[in-house]
C-alpha cells in the first residue's frame, strides 16, 4: 500500500468529523445504498461494495440481491460493520470482508462491483491493479460502477457548496455550516492539503478503464449528492 493511501486509510479508520451530524451520515449512506440497489441486476445477483465505509444501510441493497460483500480496508470500520449486523441478528446476504479476501474470490463470480468515492484516495497504479482484479471477478455481462470520481477542476469550495445544498434539503444546514468551519482546522484538511487527492478528467478515467479491458461510458448522473463529480459504468469485454 502506497504511503499516501496508508495515511488516508488511517484517517478513515480513526475518529473524524467528516459527517457533520448523525442526520448527515444517515442521509449519505441511505442515498448511496438506494443508488446501488437500483443497479442490482436481479434477486440472485452477487454484489461487491468495495471501500464501503460504514455501510449503514446495506440492508437496502441486500433486499434486492442474492449476496452483498462489504469490503472495507480500515480494520476498525470493518469490525464495526460485522458487529452491527450481528447485533441485528445477522443477515445471511451480507458479509463484511477485507481486501485480501476479495482477492481470493472465484473468478467471474460477481454480477456488480461498486467503487464509490475511493479512487481519489488511491495512487493511480493501485487503481489500475483494482480494475484488473475487478475484471477477473466480474461475470461476462457484469457491471463495474466507479462513482464520485473527483475531476481536476472540482475544488474544495465546490464540495462545500454541494454539502450545503444537501444539508438545506435534509434539515441539517446549521450543523453543516459548523462542520465546514471545523473542517478547516481538522486532520482531513491537513491531509488534503499535504497529500492531495487523486483526480481524473473524464477522458483519463475512460481510458484507464478501457486499458483494463472494459467497455465504458460516463453515467448522466453521479451517485451521491455532489453532481460536480462523475460516475462511470463499465462492463468487461
Supply the pLDDT for residue 203.
98
Average pLDDT (79-89) is 82
The more confident residue out of 113 and 16 is 113
Q: Which residues pair with 68 in a beta bridge?
A: 47, 94
Residue 194 has pLDDT above 70, yes or no: yes
Could you give the 3-state DSSP secondary structure of residue 229?
coil
3-state secondary structure of 47: strand
Q: What is the pLDDT of residue 2?
A: 81
User: 35-39, 69-73, 179-183, 232-236: lowest mean pLDDT where?
Assistant: 179-183
Q: Grid coordinates 460477481 are at which residue?
A: 110
Q: Higher pLDDT residue, 186 or 141?
A: 141
Specify the length of the chain in residues: 237
User: Which residues 6+ apart lie within 8 Å of 49 measured at CB?
Assistant: 36, 55, 58, 61, 68, 69, 70, 71, 114, 116
**Residue 64: CA atoms inside 13 Å, Cβ hemisphere, count?**
16
Q: What is the pLDDT of residues 105-136, one digit of tens each?
A: 999 999 999 999 999 999 999 999 999 999 99
**Cα–Cα distance measured from residue 124 to residue 152, given in angstroms and rounded to the nearest whole number:** 14
Question: Is the pLDDT reported for residue 181 higher than 80?
Answer: yes
Q: What share of the chain is helix, strand, coil (3-state, %, to 5)?
A: 50, 20, 35
pTM, whole model, 2 decimals?
Answer: 0.95
Q: Are strands 138-149 and 230-236 parallel, antiparallel or unpaired?
A: antiparallel
How sure is the predictor about 90, in pLDDT bands with cuts at 50, 70 and 90? low
* Residue 186 pLDDT greater than 80, yes or no: yes
3-236 sits in which CATH class? alpha beta
**pLDDT per position as a tens digit, 205-223:** 999 999 999 999 999 999 9
**Average pLDDT in the 1-18 region?**
89
- In degrees and rounded to multiples of 5, residue 230 shows phi and psi of -125, 150
Rounded mean pLDDT, 96-102: 97
Amino acid at each position: 500500500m502506497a504511503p499516501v493511501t496508508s495515511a488516508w486509510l488511517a484517517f478513515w479508520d480513526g475518529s473524524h468529523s467528516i459527517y457533520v451530524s448523525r442526520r448527515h451520515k444517515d442521509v449519505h449512506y441511505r442515498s448511496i445504498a438506494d443508488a446501488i440497489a437500483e443497479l442490482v441486476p436481479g434477486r440472485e445477483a452477487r454484489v461487491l461494495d468495495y471501500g464501503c465505509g460504514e455501510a449503514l444501510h446495506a440492508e437496502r441493497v441486500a433486499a434486492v440481491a442474492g449476496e452483498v460483500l462489504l469490503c472495507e480496508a480500515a480494520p476498525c470500520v470493518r469490525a464495526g460493520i460485522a458487529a452491527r449486523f450481528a447485533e441485528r441478528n445477522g443477515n445471511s446476504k451480507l458479509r463484511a470482508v477485507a481486501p485480501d479476501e476479495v482477492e481470493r474470490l472465484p473468478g467471474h463470480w460477481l454480477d456488480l462491483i461498486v467503487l464509490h468515492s475511493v479512487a481519489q484516495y488511491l495512487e493511480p497504479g493501485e487503481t489500475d491493479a483494482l480494475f484488473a482484479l475487478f475484471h477477473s471477478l466480474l461475470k461476462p455481462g457484469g457491471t463495474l460502477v466507479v462513482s464520485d470520481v473527483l475531476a481536476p477542476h472540482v475544488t474544495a469550495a465546490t464540495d462545500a457548496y454541494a454539502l450545503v445544498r444537501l444539508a438545506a434539503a435534509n434539515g441539517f444546514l446549521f450543523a453543516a455550516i459548523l462542520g465546514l468551519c471545523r473542517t478547516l482546522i481538522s486532520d482531513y484538511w491537513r491531509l488534503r492539503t499535504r497529500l492531495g487527492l487523486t483526480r481524473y478528467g473524464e477522458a483519463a478515467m475512460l481510458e484507464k478503464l478501457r486499458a483494463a479491458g472494459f467497455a465504458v461510458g460516463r453515467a448522466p448522473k453521479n451517485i451521491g449528492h455532489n453532481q460536480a463529480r462523475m460516475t462511470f459504468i463499465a462492463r468487461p469485454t
